[in-house]
Amino acid sequence: MTGRTIGFVGLGAMGRGMAGSLLRAGHTVRVWNRSPEPVAAMVAEGAEAAGSLAEVFAADTVVSMLANDAAVERLLLDPALLAGAGATLHVNMATVSLALAERAEALHAEHGVGYVAAPVLGRPPVAAAGRLNILVAGAPELLERAEPLFAAMGERTWHFGESPRQANTVKISTNFLIACAIESMAEACSLAEAHGIRPTDLVDLLTGTLFPGPIHTGYGAMVAERRYEPAGFRLPLGLKDVGLALDAGAARNVPLPIGSVLRDAFLDALAHGDGDKDWAAVAEVARRRAGLPD
């Protein structure tokens, strides 16, 4: 697929790095974003600016990385846009609800556009380095067509079935588990601090013994140091993903009791003005509950 024109929608913190990886792999990348500044930055790197979403969907393949269901619904699930599309494949890399995944697959099929889901694991620096883990599901022939793009943006592609919603299910499950890890580290750090132990010492112990790995190491340090800016993944997005997990559980009668605790903790953090911080800032809720000093 090298040398083909790829339409790319959504140049947020993740999308910019992903589009850059496609450029470095030798693709022509035609970009569109709701605000113009990221487009200008990508054009400076060699991308083409699209004047409209219709221009994006004139490319053979479209890749999108938007923030939530509302953005995908408003911008991309437009019957007129899909009816006039030259694109024969849309790779949606956003974390969206299972209900939206089903609607998107059906609407694309109605207009003859292939649709696959490919949400990712990784923060913005990982996206910029082209080292994402990409979780994919869709028709095998469509995934085969998209594989060169996955190889450009990620270091490993994980396959989870032929229904796009299956990849979204896995992504929702992983983000739910990350939120649980942040909350558990926040509570453990608050407990240690209340008894005169430095949270950084506790996290050093945990990540050097029981819980090595990027989640506990990365988020553990942020929680222990109360370092939540700049935000790699903003707190409202964390609330959104916890809500997606609760909705997915309700759809199959799967109780997620910790999910309800997490939802209230994220709401508490938003109510205290932490909406522009990284979602690790939900740890401040545990500190407030423990009566620890600001």
| 215-253 pLDDT, tens digit each | 999 999 999 999 999 999 999 999 999 999 999 999 999
End-of-domain residue from the set 137, 162, 187 = 162
Looking at the predicted structure, is the pLDDT value of residue 294 above 90?
A: no
Average per-residue pLDDT in the chain? 97
If asked whether residues 121 and 230 sit together in one domain, one would say no
If asked whether residues 42 and 138 sit together in one domain, one would say yes
Query: Which domain does 276 fall in, by range?
Result: 168-289
Query: What span, in angstroms and rounded, lies between the C-alpha atoms of 235 and 281?
Result: 7
Q: What digits encode the pLDDT tens for the residues 149-207?
A: 999 999 999 999 999 999 999 999 999 999 999 999 999 999 999 999 999 999 999 99
* 174 falls within a domain: yes
End-of-domain residue from the set 145, 162, 179 = 162
User: pLDDT over 70 for what percent of the chain?
Assistant: 99
Q: What is the CATH number of the domain that holds 209?
A: 1.10.1040.10
If asked whether residues 218 and 126 sit together in one domain, one would say no
If asked whether residues 24 and 118 sit together in one domain, one would say yes
**8 A C-beta contact, residue 1 and residue 61:** yes
Q: What are phi and psi of 225, to 5 degrees?
A: -90, -5
- In the block, tokens 């989640």 appear at 215
Query: What span, in angstroms and rounded, lies between the C-alpha atoms of 14 and 25?
Result: 17
* 210 falls within a domain: yes
pLDDT at 289: 97
Residue of 169, 33, 159, 7 lying closest to 101 (CA atoms):
169
Looking at the predicted structure, is the pLDDT value of residue 2 above 90?
A: no
Phi-psi map region of 119: left, alpha, beta (phi>0 left; psi -120 to 50 alpha): beta
If asked whether residues 115 and 146 sit together in one domain, one would say yes
Count up the domains in the chain and report the number: 2
Looking at the predicted structure, is the pLDDT value of residue 29 above 60?
A: yes
End-of-domain residue from the set 162, 188, 220 = 162
Of the CA atoms within 13 Å of residue 215, those in its CB half-sphere come to 16
DSSP 8-state code for residue 135: E
Per-residue pLDDT, averaged over 93-107, amounts to 97
**8 A C-beta contact, residue 178 and residue 222:** no
If asked whether residues 112 and 129 sit together in one domain, one would say yes
Strands (E), 195-251: none
**8 A C-beta contact, residue 176 and residue 242:** yes
171 tagged catalytic: yes
* 220 falls within a domain: yes
Q: What digits encode the pLDDT tens for the residues 49-85?
A: 999 999 999 999 999 999 999 999 999 999 999 999 9
Q: What digits encode the pLDDT tens for the residues 251-268?
A: 999 999 999 999 999 999
* 294 falls within a domain: no
If asked whether residues 145 and 193 sit together in one domain, one would say no
If asked whether residues 122 and 233 sit together in one domain, one would say no
Q: What are phi and psi of 247, to 5 degrees?
A: -65, -45
* 195 falls within a domain: yes
Between the two ends of the chain, the Cα-to-Cα distance in Å is: 54
Q: What 3-state DSSP class applies to 279?
A: helix
Per-residue pLDDT, averaged over 261-285, amounts to 98
Q: Name the maximum alpha-carbon separation found in the chain.
A: 64
Q: What is the CATH number of the domain that holds 60?
A: 3.40.50.720
Query: What span, in angstroms and rounded, lies between the C-alpha atoms of 125 and 232?
Result: 9
Q: Kindly report which listed range (3-12, 133-142, 191-200) carries the lowest average pLDDT score.
A: 3-12
Query: Cα 32–34–35 angle (5° rounding)?
Result: 100
Looking at the predicted structure, is the pLDDT value of residue 143 above 70?
A: yes
pTM of the full predicted structure?
A: 0.94
If asked whether residues 175 and 269 sit together in one domain, one would say yes
If asked whether residues 98 and 15 sit together in one domain, one would say yes
If asked whether residues 179 and 157 sit together in one domain, one would say no
If asked whether residues 111 and 197 sit together in one domain, one would say no
Active-site residue, from 16, 90, 171, 263 = 171
Looking at the predicted structure, is the pLDDT value of residue 1 above 70?
A: no
